Structure 1
Amino acid sequence: MQVQFRLPDLGEGLTESEIVSWHVAVGDPVKLNQVIAEVETAKAVVELPSPYTGTVSAIMHEPGTVVEVGEVIIEFDVAAEPDSDSAGVAGSVRDGDPARYADARSRSRAPISDSASAEPVSEAEPKRVPTLVGYGADPETSARPVRRARTLSAPAQEPKKADVHVQVDRPRSTPPVRKLARDMGVGLEEVAGTGERGLITRADVLTFAGDHAVAREHTDSGEGTVAAPASGRAEAQETVREVRTPIKGVQKFMAKAMVESAFTAPHVSEFLTIDVTAGMDFLQKLRSQKEFAGIKVTPLTLAAKAVTLAVARYPALNSHWDEKAQEVVTFKYLNLGIAAATPRGLVVPNIKDTQALGLRGLAQALGQLAETARAGKTPPADLAGGTFSITNIGVFGIDAGTPLLNTGEAGILALGAVRRTPWEYQGQVALRQVMTLSLSFDHRLVDGAQGSRFLADVGAIMADPAMALVLS
């Protein structure tokens, strides 16, 4: 029996995803929950597990294609009797059984597949757009096979797509770099990666384009592109006047969110410069404690704890303006977002229920969040539901800024760089470790007094961690 698998809704109502890579090819046998593909949404790169045990009969789209939710992406040949486990899980999703659905999800690493979107080809049902996120991949069956270059044949009903060649074993790179390479006519298989573990970087693509003169130039007349002459890097760099990159993925999502934030919430920003010498000494002491062995503790760790304590005293900073319901929603929990610069762009994953974590647990959570974000593996669930955010611009050597609110949140705190600065200390001028805190808040929810007191509390704890005992 032939069945189709449609691109599922991967969460947050996202309407499309880009196919990053296939881990199977036409003719490959697959098992239930085996990872068959990686797709990139506007928020994260996620793995898709197979909803069936069978054989791949057709792959509908090449890597790099942007596919809408509900569109068929792959077909399988399966036994006439469906796999019992697959049917059971799919049935639980279709029947809306929360208990069975939750149990199925608990066996997975990432909630990314929608079994309800896999339908027999023979069924004459109207096209349905999936709305449920599925049960994910089983660690015991999701080991990735060795990738091989294969020729993938399109389905019989689409003869124009026959003999489409897909290179499954593609060089390692990020989606923006792959897009740049496509726009410039560069084959990544010819580029030597200089990044970590052979990762192909943007600079590698540009250097290759210059050396081999395959960059393209957009003509002023708008009639298309012309190839640059092959005469070396310097001439190629002079020839390339423009590089056009489609706006999509994380960049598109971030731009939309920032415009919505800037023109919806009335921002107010305040700044506080403080002597954090005692706070930095405290962090150094923590690093020598056996309880913190192997755990990274930084000014961000201390700031996260300070924010957790301060929002308990000033809950307006941990609230949401519900325009549709005309209500103010005050959260009794804190999902602390941490802005992270990744190869895919800016993302703001959040740590759930931060108020329940001690300093050690918070430091561990921050380390895991950063590691996952850098690897591009942040699950969509971790990017949703934030209630307050922190952005650490100090790591770039920046002292202060006016951060834009993460959409739907009442406040965001920016941490500036810690610098040795002449400072008044005990009646004399001394070199002290100084930093600036920048707070932006939604003036519909937070008045000036609340914002100022909140910022003062955070600053007091950063300057002297012992104040946490007083302010908690």
Structure 2
Amino acid sequence: MPVVREFRLPDLGEGLTGAEVVRWMVEVGEVIAVDQPVVEVETAKAVVEVPCPYGGVVTARYGAEGEEIAVGAPLVTVAVASAGGGAADTAASSPASSASPASSAEVERPLVGYGVAESRGARRRRVGAAAAPASAPAPVAVAAPAAPAEPVEPVAPAAPVVVPVISPLVRRLAREQGVDLTALTGSGPDGLIMRADVERAVAAKVAAPAPAAPAPAAPVAVAQNGVVPLRGLRKAVAEKLSRSHREIPAATCWVDADATELMALRRQLNATPGPKVSVLALLARICTVALARFPELNSSVTEDGSGIVRHSAVHLGFAAQGERGLVVPVVRNAQARSTEQLGEELGRLTESARSGSLTPAELTGGTFTLNNYGVFGVDGSTPILNHPEAAMLGVGRIVAKPWVHGGELAVREVTQLSFTFDHRVCDGGTAGGFLRFVADCVEQPGMLLRQL
């Protein structure tokens, strides 16, 4: 007989406690291979595919699309081959049998890792069961028949049930006669349901009086104010910002800066062969140089508030708008990258943010954030810090404004720089010195040559 294995949602790292089902990638009754992705879930960090460590027939799925599943809760159940053959013998007569595991060693092994499957390109196979409705609140369980058959009406037991039926003829007879196979006790070996069992159930059904019509379901109350639940990314963002606002005594200072020379430098760099340099890349380079001069701002306060951790590397986070909202990808070791290298990595991460393909690792571990909210057409902001980071530089739009330059009134390209910092890691003098240095580099980018 096949052995039913329960696969639970694994720990996806970074202290995540659950994930929301985005899309099921397999159907109930489908034969799957070891480490084949079965579901796409959205965590607080990213959307990932979760592979199942068992190969065999999917007998139940837990959770509808949009439903949140806790780490450690059941995800799917799979009927796998026992040491004696079981499921492999069951599917031997089916074209899908080539996808069934050959031995118990092949169907039981540790999870390789979410989002990675050894047989991602394998062709999916159906063995005769219809998919469970996506909106069903409970798992749908069916057995693994040997050959394709017409769809079976799904049932929704309180817990997944494996119906011991091998013959597709028996299943078809039960379906045509409206017999619930999960309510039968088989007379065959190991409780196998035979044709005679179904025929007896049909005879008993004919002799029994017709059941009374069910009472109509009570109307479902609909919220009048259109409340949208906080879950997934929005829930994680809300929790993180609330914690930051609650725990960090943040302060903000700002200054207007003449960015005319910086923009001229960018045009000059982009007129030469090589990758194009973005304004964001130039600002990122300025940040790494400024943090080398003011290292206390590349830090974070310990969880218990008893100390300050000075980070040796600058893992530069930057705000990017993606499918799932505003996210903060992280450029690792930004201080070791050239301006061109920073531009390339910023571009790659931005594209991943837009496509929703950022991994959890690319969204965590930042030590300092660069927030270019000028792309939204605004001048200034007092943002909430990205906990547990101690500082964030904000850059407003660069726009032509009247400006006194060289003792005369002129039209210059001006931006507003704002700097929000954790007052526990430094005093206002340090924060002001950092911001003034950044502004000087924006106004006179040649200053960067002294730091390279």
Tell me the TM-score normalized by structure 2. 0.72
Please say if 1:61 is aligned against 2:63. Answer: yes
How do 1:72-471 residues align onto structure 2 when only pairs under 5 Å count? Answer: 72-79=74-81, 80=83, 81-84=103-106, 87=109, 90=110, 114=111, 134=113, 136-138=115-117, 141-143=119-121, 150-152=130-132, 154-155=140-141, 159=157, 224-225=221-222, 242-292=225-275, 295=276, 297-324=277-304, 326-471=306-451
Moved more, 241-250 or 425-434: 241-250
1:361-403 Cα shifts (integer Å, max 9, x gaps): 1101101111111112211112221100011110011101111
CA contact (8 A) 1:11 1:381 kept: no
CA contact (8 A) 1:35 1:143 kept: no
Q: Distance in 1 between matches of 2:122 and 2:391?
A: 42
SS in 1 for 2:50: strand
SS in 2 for 1:151: coil
Give the aligned CA root-mean-square deviation in angstroms: 2.7
Counterpart in the other structure of 1:35: 37
Q: Distance in 1 between matches of 2:122 and 2:22?
A: 15
Tell me the TM-score normalized by structure 1. 0.69
Of the two, which has the highest radius of gyration?
A: 2
What runs of 5+ residues in structure 1 fail to find an aligned partner?
91-113, 116-133, 164-222, 227-240
CA contact (8 A) 1:405 1:440 kept: yes
- Structure 1 residue 470, shift from structure 2 partner: 1.9
Q: Distance in 1 between matches of 2:345 and 2:11?
A: 27
How do 1:4-19 residues align onto structure 2 when only pairs under 5 Å count? Answer: 4-19=6-21
Task: Assess, with a 3 A threshold, how the Cα gap between structure 1 residues 318 and 29 changes in structure 2: closer, same or farther.
Answer: same
One-letter code of the match for 2:348?
Q
One-letter code of the match for 1:68?
A
1:53-98 Cα shifts (integer Å, max 9, x gaps): 32222212221221111011111222343345963xx2xxxxxxxx
Q: Distance in 2 between matches of 1:144 and 1:291?
A: 41
- Structure 1 residue 321, shift from structure 2 partner: 0.7
What runs of 5+ residues in structure 2 fail to find an aligned partner?
84-102, 133-138, 143-154, 162-219
- Structure 1 residue 151, shift from structure 2 partner: 2.5
Task: Assess, with a 3 A threshold, how the Cα gap between structure 1 residues 394 and 325 changes in structure 2: closer, same or farther.
Answer: closer
Structure 1 moving runs of 4+ over 4 Å: 83-86, 144-150, 160-163
CA contact (8 A) 2:366 2:389 kept: yes
Q: Percent identity?
A: 38
One-letter code of the match for 2:104?
P
CA contact (8 A) 1:317 1:410 kept: yes
One-letter code of the match for 1:334?
V
SS in 2 for 1:449: helix
SS in 2 for 1:466: helix
